[in-house]
Amino acid sequence: MSTDHHPPKERTAMSEMTIEAVRPTTESMTSMTPSIDEPPVQLRLANVSKTYSPKDGKVLDGIDLDIARGELVSLLGPSGCGKSTLLRMVAGFIKPDEGRIEIAGANITRVPTHRRNIGIVHQSHALWPHMTVAENVAFGLEMRKVRRNERERLVSEMLEVVGLGGFDRRLPPELSGGQQQRVALARALVIEPQVLLLDEPLSSLDANLRVYLREEIRRIQRELGVTTIFVTHDREEAMAVSDRIVLLQHGNIAQEGSATDLYRHPDSLFIMAFTGALVSFDGVVEHGDVRVDVGHFGLAAAASVPVAHGDAVVVAMRPEDIGVASSDAYDTVDALRFGGTLDDVAFLGTSVEARVTLSTGQRIEMRLHPRDLSTLPPVGNAIDLQVDASHLHVFAA
């Protein structure tokens, strides 16, 4: 594993501690030889399922997921969708009912937790309050019988990496919540884990600190090149830190991709709603046309999932894709046009929020770039809006 923080000598010592069961064989390494642009798979879940109680059904249902070496993948989804369950299986705290888990090509499905080389950070840091920061961080190294002077060096190096240089003699209760999470991160990273698991590591912290620390996690993850699963129910957090987002729903992967993929090309209304704000209308497909109560547009021009004539649909759009129609606008299948009354405008500096009541009585919110503020009529006046069909998502109702 490539790390900048451990000089080659330590790296040898660390890899001697890597237990046989999870160490990739030369053969599997060869078979996984990466091309330059495609790093090898570091973590593989193949058809992994888990049921806690038969009456509740499958919590995870045949999950297939490959994570590349050095990749940061967010597991995103509503509370109870199985994110922690998936993480616990990678850690070895629970066994899958079916399926296979591999790290660096080695099957670890039945390998006990203490023989997996994995770092974990939980929502609540779970530091030992009576042990110093250095002792907390050194714990995993002691378990692995790393010699004392080497241990001290690795610990102080890792405390530098997480921005806590000089804090080694403090006790956890003498630290802020954010600093405690940094200690937890150092403790997870110092063993040079093959996979780092972060289970909502920021959710116990206040909003400003969350934003700051997520950037720090990203920086550290890149610096060390550690393969990471970041569990969160916060879409913005997932979008900010991830190479790839995996969105779970009902025990399945609803969609995976970059933040841009999920936001701009959602496969379902659930995904669209989970990744950001939206405005939606009920409608029906009539031949090549989609009719909603405020207007119509051509299906072929829409960003859409396949639907057929007669289907009831939901037409959804992002608030920032709704614009003020220009005065010379004419009716076309390439756009949806509708009118209403401008109720309220809020200037937020980087954006402008405008609330409009449509002729149907539906109230919607649109978001403009501040440079377009002058396109709005005075509050209380009629307003004509339009959305390019390419920004209209059509989903089966």
Q: Which does 52 bind (CB under 5 to 8 A by kind): ligand ADP, Mg ion, none?
A: ligand ADP
**Does residue 121 belong to the site contacting ligand ADP (CB under 6 A)?**
no
Smallest distance, ligand ADP to C-beta of residue 83, A: 3
Give the whole-angstrom CA distance, residue 28 versus residue 132.
41
**Does residue 74 belong to the site contacting Mg ion (CB under 5 A)?**
no
Give the whole-angstrom CA distance, residue 107 versus residue 62.
17
**Does residue 128 belong to the site contacting ligand ADP (CB under 6 A)?**
no
**Does residue 74 belong to the site contacting ligand ADP (CB under 6 A)?**
no
**Does residue 93 belong to the site contacting ligand ADP (CB under 6 A)?**
no
DSSP helix/strand/coil, 320: helix
For Mg ion (CB under 5 A), the number of binding residues is 1
* Residue 129 CB coordination number (10 Å): 11
Q: Which is nearer to Mg ion, 235 or 391 (CB)?
A: 235
Beta strands across the sheet bearing 41-51: 58-68, 41-51, 98-103, 106-107
Q: Which is nearer to ligand ADP, 51 or 132 (CB)?
A: 51
Query: Is-contact 339 383, C-beta < 8 A?
Result: yes
Stretch of 80-88, 110-118, 274-282, 313-321 contacting ligand ADP, by CB under 6 A:
80-88
**Contacts of residue 17, Cβ cutoff 8 Å, sequence gap at least 6:** 144, 145, 146
| Torsion 120-122-127-133 (CA) sign | positive
Q: By CB under 6 A, what part of segment 305-324 binds ligand ADP?
A: none
Q: By CB under 6 A, what part of segment 22-61 binds ligand ADP?
A: 52-53, 59
With CB under 6 A as the contact rule, the residue among 26, 33, 35, 79 that binds ligand ADP is 79
Q: Which is nearer to ligand ADP, 155 or 248 (CB)?
A: 248
Integer angstrom CA distances of residue 311 from 165, 273, 283, 296? 62, 21, 9, 15
**Does residue 80 belong to the site contacting ligand ADP (CB under 6 A)?**
yes
Strand 244-249 and strand 252-257: the pairing is: antiparallel
**Does residue 232 belong to the site contacting Mg ion (CB under 5 A)?**
no
**Does residue 82 belong to the site contacting ligand ADP (CB under 6 A)?**
yes
Smallest distance, Mg ion to C-beta of residue 248, A: 11
Query: Is-contact 343 355, C-beta < 8 A?
Result: yes
Bridge partners (DSSP) of residue 292 are 283, 295
**Does residue 268 belong to the site contacting Mg ion (CB under 5 A)?**
no
* Residue 337 CB coordination number (10 Å): 17
Q: Which is nearer to ligand ADP, 77 or 323 (CB)?
A: 77
Stretch of 39-47, 77-85, 221-229, 266-274 contacting ligand ADP, by CB under 6 A:
77-85
**Does residue 84 belong to the site contacting Mg ion (CB under 5 A)?**
yes
Q: Strand (E) positions, 52-191?
A: 58-68, 72-76, 98-103, 106-107, 118-121
DSSP helix/strand/coil, 10: helix
Stretch of 79-87, 128-136, 141-149, 332-340 contacting ligand ADP, by CB under 6 A:
79-87
Smallest distance, ligand ADP to C-beta of residue 50, A: 8
Q: Which residues bind Mg ion (CB under 5 A)?
A: 84
Q: Which residues bind ligand ADP (CB under 6 A)?
A: 52-53, 59, 77, 79-85
